[in-house]
Structure 1
Amino acid sequence: MLVALKKSDLYSSLWRSCDELRGGMDASQYKDYILTLLFVKYVTDKGKSDPNSLIDVPAGGSFDDMIALKGDKEIGDKINKIIGKLAEANGLEKVIDLADFNDEEKLGKGKEMQDRLSKLVTIFADLDFRGSRAEGDDLLGDAYEYLMRHFATESGKSKGQFYTPAEVSRVLAKVVGIGPGTRQDHTVYDPTCGSGSLLLKVADEAPRSITIYGQEKDNATWALAKMNMILHGNEDADILKGDTITSPQFTAGRQLRTFDFAVANPPFSTKSWSNGLENDYGRFELGRPPEKNGDYAFLLHILKSLKSGGKAAVILPHGVLFRSGAEAIIRKELLRRGYIKGIIGLPANLFYGTNIAACIMILDKENAQARTGVFMIDASKGFVKDGNKNRLRSQDIHKIVDVFNRQISIKRYSRMVSLHEIADPKNDYNLNISRYIDSSEPEDIQDLHAHLHGGIPDRDVDALSGYWEAFPSLRGTLFMGNRSGYSDLAVGVTEVQQSILDSDEFQKFANEVRSQVDDWFTTHRPILQALDADTLPNDLIAQISDDLLARFKNTPLLDEYDVYEQLMTYWHGVIHDDVFLVMNEGWLDAAKPRKAIEDKGRKLSETPDLIVGSGRSATKYKTDLIPPALVVARYFANEQAEVDALNATADEASRAVEDYLEEHATEDGLLAEAMDDGKISKVLATARFKVARHEGTDPEEVKALRHLINLYNDEALAKKAAKEAQAALDLATLKKYGDLTAHEIKLLVLDDKWHATITKRVAGELNALALALVSRIEELGERYGETLGNLEAELSKLDRLVAMHLTDMGVK
């Protein structure tokens, strides 16, 4: 059976495959095995569906040949030979054949190796790339990145440097200057390309493609980059091996070759960068970097590798912005010549191999002499925690790119800093971002006069001006004058929230926000309902998300990037998978329930969405596209209401049993004789009832037991009725899936699922705004609610009470 190739399925299947190999290896070793099998499986499937595939899959060199080896005692050696044939047929020796599948130290001996590799091949056999189109390539590339992220996370501090987080790569790709005017013959270069993910993100920004060049020092990582390029359809990318500083591979005689664009995430602060350096290719004419710190060696190499109008974006540690000595001399020359276009400060702990904060330095040789300033962004506070690392969100990426490319000044975030200011003696060409952008939040100043005499300082109320501009009359509802410069709350602290939520202006604002989302969705509904095999999901989400962002740009209070993030989070978590299902299977087939996978031996069990029947005869279903709740809400609302009512009746019956037992099942209660370990089941109650009647026990006990049994019977009947109604509803729901038309499916997915969820998520942003206002007003009300006079009066009152009590006790 072939697993439905949703993004989430692919990711989880691939990561499970890693579990099969964990025994004798760490992540830096087993990544080579996993990614090699991924590559062979992909090109095998691609060859079956694409007659123009540039990769030749020879007889005896395909993944199908590996499947035939399951259980074979010589499986390891034979897999090596299969990969060898594929490598030889495509000139990929020392690229895809680096992992030794017959290594007993890593994979175990005899039966252990045989079982491990057989399981591994089986997991990959469940994935099918034959239907892969353009988005399929992206999907596979995302899976490759997913594995890279996991491998980097688990490889430890020294071995995670082969991977630049995809989110950071996207920022570099979008700020380096590539756009609609970029041609296929334009060139992009990464001198420390690692696994190639950064270069590929840049290539994605070029509408007509771009010519790729890269160099990587580590042999295994170079091989990963070569495979990565092929997996993304960039077989012609020129990726060479060698140390970029001591042995640059892209040269023209005694000069470096030059490129239109460059991107890089060089190793931070390399201490041995100059070991073996013989020819500097004129790279250090602005100054020689310090012997024990290679950051500027890479930066100057990149600068020298740019054409006269070339542009580069480079990830560097913050130290390059302010360190003294030789680096200060180089930095001064770079600025005086106008090569530095911008600097973007990033959050700490984004990168694998280091926790320190880094920055992006943007170099631009075009019109460098005319440059009069450096555009700076402090983006250090925009991130989300992701495990033990930080990660840029979609909104952080979009904001950085928008602000940099449009050179927008935002208080505490971005500004153009003149070279005159940078050169001022007090700064002396120091580029530390905090010198020029104060990103700290304003201090919440306590007002001593208000603490003494009461009243909320007007400056604190004025600081909420954004709310008063959006809701002009709300300030008058919540506050009233006290004395000059101070106000009092016009409602109780506990009434603030309801006063805000009930105000006509807030209700009107909420309706307008909802209408904006409705109008946006209505505009794009035609292209969403036209989803088919030729849809380009990346283009689709870029179009609709940018429009949502633009629509909320001038909405007061709401940050358009927060609204954008709600859509993007839902896209990555749900809609992308939905779109891909529809692309590959069509609306009708994508909506059909499928039997849930139950194979606990291979860790592939799925949580069912719908269960029909009970016990061993139960059939469990997954409904990937349309959750059962949506079908029920649209077509079986009355039946659901009946089930809810029956469940409520069953709950009441259960509570009646509990209440009766709580009252009478005590040591001295009427039901004490029927108790066993403090409990009385229906069986115990029935048994005791028979004995009590036969022995002529206290009539009150018999009466109590009879009542308890009746309560248990009522509970059983109520639960049975609810269960039967639920079973009938589940069966009707399953049948309804089979009767749904394409039109009905689109209503359920587009309106009831996507539109409704996005509306709810944006409403959540609105509620968060309201609660932030409530919280601040409550804080101010409580802070200044008790004056010194009130406290002194309360203290005096307490003193008098204590004195009276002491007198009553005979104490003077």
Structure 2
Amino acid sequence: MDKQQLANKIWESANKLRSKIEANEYKDYILGFMFYKFLSQKEEELLSTQYQIAKTEYKSVLLESNIELCDAIRDDLYYFIPYNHLFSTWIQDGNQLDVGRVQDALNSFERLLNDQYNRIYKGIFDTLQLGLTKLGDNSGTQSKAIQQLISLIDEIPMGDSQDYDVLGFVYEYLISNFAANAGKKAGEFYTPHEVSVLMSEIVAHHLQGQNEISIYDPTSGSGSLLINIGKSIEKYKKDKNSIKYYAQELKEATYNLTRMNLIMRNIQPSNIMVRNADTLEDDWPYFDEADPQQTYNPLYLDAVVSNPPYSQHWEPKGKENDPRYSRFGLAPATKADYAFLLHDLYHLRPNGIMTIVLPHGVLFRGDSEGEIRKALIDNNHIDAIIGLPANIFFGTSIPTIIMVLRQKRENQDVLVIDASEYFVKANKNNKLQSSDIRRIVDAYCKRETLPGYCTVVSRDEIIGNDYNLNIPRYVNTSKNDEIYDIYGIVHGGIPYSEIEKLSPYWSVFEGLDKEIFKQGQDGYYSLVEGDVAKIVHDYPAVNEFTDSLGSKINQYIEYVSQSVIDDFKVGMDETVWHILSAELFEQFSNIPLIDTYDIYQIMSDNWSKITLDIDKMGHNGKALVASVEPNMVMKKKNNKQVEVQDGWKGAIVPFGLVQELYLQNELSNLTHIDNELEAIEEQIAELAEAVPMDYQDMEFLNDDRTGFVKTPLNAAVKVYKDEPELYPLLKAVKDLYAEETKLKKRQKEAVAELADATKYRIENLTDEQIDELLYQHWIIPAINELNAYSKKVINDFVQCLSALANKYGTSLQSIDNDIRVVEQELITSLRELESNDDMGISALLELLGAK
């Protein structure tokens, strides 16, 4: 299930439950039941794979009284769910499931936990359990609401099989659509996926050489930041279990969500350390209170990431000697931004790295914040500042930054990146594309000045600016004002300075400028007469460029095809894309006139679609291409929208692609019938227009007079059989409708036959045909987009030439000449009328200087 399908399901369920559940509480039920389903499925998976217990035996053996099995499962999973409380049992029971059973299940879960990991699971369903009684006025209405929720949850995918953070996406969707509170959305608890990925890639690049890694989010929210860092680090590491996750969250419901999300990512409980506490008031304990002497261990980590609440109030009083703040000073009570930053920095190991999202104000605000900023710069902690687009977070449109800090650094400068103009619109918010993220990460890793995008700023320059880090001081992203050459505007002609601005093109298309522009006597230029676009497209150097780029595209596509089809492996992951993208930059980085990040975006979008298929293939691998699945659609039944099967569809490749490749004759036959039906419709429409005016109010014509109504038409054929003006027309229409009926029957049969033939063909595909279909389905769309991009490079150049011609195409002198001609024509006409001795005409002539 992709994101859009999942969003539609949630919206549909929400509408059904709108009268029973408060909008801002809806997420608690969805997320809680999602997690319960995940735990239940984990237990069933353990029973079938490790214990070899058949599903038919669950009812008789999966009992609390079966102490041996119960204890074994608790040792493996740290919890035990009896058969009666399994999520699958709830689904089987359907309308028999009641609120009492669910409450019993949640109580049972808590009671049967393994004490070893109580800290991970204990109280995790408290938010859900407290909310069950709010689902209705009595147990009956509560039970019905639960049944509807369970039915929805049954369709939501779980685990790592999706290419996105399912729980995080659901949380984001619910927050953005339902969790409005007093007009303000609660989006501060969720870091958009793209920002998480950006921060994660920076951290992962820094930590890629380490074997054991610990990461910490002191304001963890849904846990999305930690999860994405884990995924980014896994690209460089084979053992995902070498990462330890630390998280702290103030709100209990969101703290529970952090735990759920980490567990659902199959992270070992021993690698999960989560606290429900106020980060600023109650720092992470250095010891287990039950054994303080043996467990004393200051918390220093390899990476700290956070997206704390912006500029919230806090209590600095009495914290002057707090080791987190004593070196730098205290943030003001009205703005805790630097308090969170210093907390994060304190917990970094000497070679660690931290990334934190903050409002722009931390870069330039004065007083105590200015002093803290000065101390951070003087102590060489600030590594980079990344300006993000505005309106990128839920609940706030204020511009934000990511600040990267280190405890120990060799370089003494600060990298300032202004990425505020790199985004796409996504509904009401702005969104970073994968190419935007990659551009930022590359700039951070290469640490070079790129005019208009990023600047490596020396500490001396920052000190010279009084420790002000405001991004526009260091990166100039302002667009140059349009400059007009006055002589060219007055007398016509393009100045050479304008042509020179296109020098990147002239250096590649050597000599083309002389073919396109001709120089006038005054040293100004004009475009040659004729089709300039054709001159450009026919020019040898342009063709050499497009051929060379096309060759590079083909070479890279062949490498991609080899990697994802010929060398296909079950369980291919992001490591493959990591290799493919590295090859992409190797192939395209030195090609002039193109932006390699545009190529990257095209391939990234296509890779996202490919990974959906790869994830779906699972352990079946490419064999799943040779299978079909029910095509489920929503249809109205008894005034309700229900999901029903409407034929079949390919599990991986669409029916249409199979038909185009292997069933051309059958497809051509159906197309022929479709064309015949279309021709009949056109003939009927023409005959409707040809009905004589005297008969256009008759019942046999439809309301807009573009067609006929069959029953009145049949009657009219009999009534008007003696009307030579009308009868032949009506008879022709009746015959056409009869032919249409026959064709529609043939069409229905042909559609059914083609569907059956397609299903049979898919289920009997050879290995070679599977590879051919995957190439058409995965690779051809990328080839088409890359070739279109190649054409766009040349078309953009032609557009520049056209714009230049338009800019200086009409001179003021020619306009003045035109005005003079019109004036003379007007004067001549007025003088012809002057004999009438009209004072008005005389006044006009005087105004025109012709009196």
Which deviates more, 409-418 or 63-72?
63-72
Secondary structure at the aligned position of 2:95 is classed as coil
Q: Offset of 1:710 from its aligned partner?
A: 6.1
- Determine the structure 2 residue equivalent to 1:311: 353
- Determine the structure 2 residue equivalent to 1:100: 129
Secondary structure at the aligned position of 1:421 is classed as helix
Q: Offset of 1:416 from its aligned partner?
A: 0.6
Secondary structure at the aligned position of 1:70 is classed as helix
Q: Describe the superposition over 1:85-112 as per-residue Cα deviations: whole angstroms up to 9, x where unpaired.
A: 2233332232223212664434453433
Name stretches of at least 5 consecutive residues in structure 2 with no aligned partner. Answer: 51-74, 842-851
Matched, 1:742 2:767: yes
Contact 1:80 1:102 in 2 (8 A): no
Contact 1:47 1:55 in 2 (8 A): no
- Determine the structure 1 residue equivalent to 2:426: 386
- Determine the structure 1 residue equivalent to 2:844: none
**RMSD (CA atoms):** 3.3
Matched, 1:283 2:320: no
What residue identity is the alignment partner of 1:543? I
2: CA distance between counterparts of 1:14 and 1:101?
22
Contact 1:179 1:205 in 2 (8 A): no
- Determine the structure 2 residue equivalent to 1:219: 252
Secondary structure at the aligned position of 1:456 is classed as coil
Name stretches of at least 5 consecutive residues in structure 1 with no aligned partner. Answer: 609-618
Out of 451, 467, 486, the position equivalent to 1:429 is: 467
- Determine the structure 1 residue equivalent to 2:491: 453
What residue identity is the alignment partner of 1:346? L
- Determine the structure 1 residue equivalent to 2:516: 478
Q: Offset of 1:192 from its aligned partner?
A: 1.6
Residues 689-728 of structure 1 mapped to structure 2, 5 A cutoff: 689-694=717-722, 697=723, 699-702=724-727, 728=753
Residues 63-462 of structure 1 mapped to structure 2, 5 A cutoff: 63-67=87-91, 70-72=94-96, 75-90=98-113, 91=118, 92-100=121-129, 103-126=132-155, 135-136=160-161, 139=163, 142-154=165-177, 155-156=179-180, 157=184, 159-176=186-203, 178-184=206-212, 186-206=213-233, 207=237, 208=239, 209-234=242-267, 235-236=269-270, 237-251=272-286, 257-274=299-316, 280-367=322-409, 370-424=410-464, 427-462=465-500
Matched, 1:558 2:582: no
Distance change (3 Å), C-alpha of 1:47 and 1:282: closer
- Determine the structure 2 residue equivalent to 1:463: 501
Q: Describe the superposition over 1:303-348 as per-residue Cα deviations: whole angstroms up to 9, x where unpaired.
A: 2222233321111111111111111111111111111111111111
- Determine the structure 2 residue equivalent to 1:613: none
- Determine the structure 2 residue equivalent to 1:616: none
Contact 1:671 1:705 in 2 (8 A): no
What residue identity is the alignment partner of 2:452? R
Distance change (3 Å), C-alpha of 1:310 and 1:589: closer
Residues 42-53 of structure 1 mapped to structure 2, 5 A cutoff: 42-50=38-46, 51=50
2: CA distance between counterparts of 1:72 and 1:479?
83
- Determine the structure 2 residue equivalent to 1:597: 632
Q: Offset of 1:711 from its aligned partner?
A: 6.2
Contact 2:175 2:185 in 1 (8 A): no
- Determine the structure 2 residue equivalent to 1:546: 582
Q: Offset of 1:675 from its aligned partner?
A: 5.6
Contact 1:347 1:380 in 2 (8 A): yes
Q: Describe the superposition over 1:527-562 as per-residue Cα deviations: whole angstroms up to 9, x where unpaired.
A: 423677742322222222332233221222221111
The alignment-based identity, stated in percent, is 28
Contact 1:532 1:583 in 2 (8 A): no
Q: Describe the superposition over 1:33-63 as per-residue Cα deviations: whole angstroms up to 9, x where unpaired.
A: 1111111111211222244953433325432
1: CA distance between counterparts of 2:706 and 2:324?
88
Which deviates more, 529-538 or 250-259?
250-259
Distance change (3 Å), C-alpha of 1:632 and 1:475: farther
Q: Describe the superposition over 1:147-179 as per-residue Cα deviations: whole angstroms up to 9, x where unpaired.
A: 121133132335222211121112112223543
Contact 1:47 1:53 in 2 (8 A): no
> Under a length normalisation based on structure 2, what TM-score does the superposition of the two structures give?
0.83
Out of 19, 39, 53, the position equivalent to 2:35 is: 39
Contact 1:20 1:120 in 2 (8 A): no
Contact 2:27 2:175 in 1 (8 A): no
Distance change (3 Å), C-alpha of 1:581 and 1:288: closer
2: CA distance between counterparts of 1:20 and 1:712?
44
- Determine the structure 2 residue equivalent to 1:30: 26
Number of residue-to-residue matches in the alignment: 777
Q: Describe the superposition over 1:550-577 as per-residue Cα deviations: whole angstroms up to 9, x where unpaired.
A: 32212222211111111222333x3222
Distance change (3 Å), C-alpha of 1:730 and 1:265: same
Secondary structure at the aligned position of 1:516 is classed as helix
1: CA distance between counterparts of 2:727 and 2:85?
82
2: CA distance between counterparts of 1:716 and 1:503?
56
Which deviates more, 623-632 or 723-732?
723-732
2: CA distance between counterparts of 1:701 and 1:768?
56
Distance change (3 Å), C-alpha of 1:685 and 1:799: farther
What residue identity is the alignment partner of 1:380? S
Distance change (3 Å), C-alpha of 1:405 and 1:658: same
2: CA distance between counterparts of 1:510 and 1:730?
41
1: CA distance between counterparts of 2:707 and 2:45?
67
Q: Describe the superposition over 1:370-413 as per-residue Cα deviations: whole angstroms up to 9, x where unpaired.
A: 53210111111111112222111111111111110121322211
- Determine the structure 2 residue equivalent to 1:612: none
Distance change (3 Å), C-alpha of 1:118 and 1:700: closer
Secondary structure at the aligned position of 2:187 is classed as coil
Q: Describe the superposition over 1:421-466 as per-residue Cα deviations: whole angstroms up to 9, x where unpaired.
A: 1111xx1111011101111223222222211111123222222223
Secondary structure at the aligned position of 1:583 is classed as helix
Contact 1:160 1:352 in 2 (8 A): yes
2: CA distance between counterparts of 1:524 and 1:446?
47
Q: Offset of 1:737 from its aligned partner?
A: 2.2
Distance change (3 Å), C-alpha of 1:513 and 1:597: same
Contact 1:266 1:298 in 2 (8 A): yes
What residue identity is the alignment partner of 1:770? I
Which deviates more, 104-113 or 188-197?
104-113
Contact 2:670 2:751 in 1 (8 A): yes
What residue identity is the alignment partner of 1:754? W
1: CA distance between counterparts of 2:764 and 2:366?
73
Contact 2:99 2:139 in 1 (8 A): no
Q: Offset of 1:735 from its aligned partner?
A: 3.1
- Determine the structure 1 residue equivalent to 2:693: 667
2: CA distance between counterparts of 1:342 and 1:325?
22
Secondary structure at the aligned position of 2:414 is classed as strand
Distance change (3 Å), C-alpha of 1:773 and 1:197: same
Which deviates more, 576-585 or 784-793?
576-585
Residues 490-639 of structure 1 mapped to structure 2, 5 A cutoff: 490-491=528-529, 495-529=531-565, 534-572=570-608, 574-598=609-633, 600=635, 605=643, 620-639=647-666
What residue identity is the alignment partner of 1:537? D
